[in-house]
Amino acid sequence: MKCVSCHAPGELGEKVPLLTRDDLVNSPLELAIPGNAAESGLVIAITRPDSDEKRMPPPKTGAARLKEEEIAAIRTWIDNGAKDD
């Protein structure tokens, strides 16, 4: 996942790790709520408007937003239970 370049130990976003499924599913931030992509923090963050400072990746970094297909894949994975397989 593209997000790992910032959300890994020693990186700017290390306080919100995104390295493993457990990082997403067991996060106190409710990043991935199995069966509920619409209310999952990850989906909310990656679909916020460009001008929102809470959008991921943050506009000030200049990093490209995820493609619609990538967002759809994340939504589908979460809606299907955020399984490990």
pLDDT tens string 6-25: 999 999 899 999 999 999 99
- Report residue 1's pLDDT band, with 50, 70 and 90 as the boundaries: low
% of the chain residues with pLDDT over 90: 68
Confirm whether 41 is domain-assigned: yes
Rounded Cα distance between 35 and 42, Å, is 13
- Report residue 72's pLDDT band, with 50, 70 and 90 as the boundaries: very high
Q: What is the pLDDT of residue 24?
A: 96
Confirm whether 84 is domain-assigned: no
Confirm whether 48 is domain-assigned: yes
Rounded Cα distance between 6 and 69, Å, is 21
Rounded Cα distance between 85 and 71, Å, is 18
Confirm whether 28 is domain-assigned: yes
Instruction: Tally the domains of the chain.
Output: 1
Q: What is the mean pLDDT of the chain?
A: 92
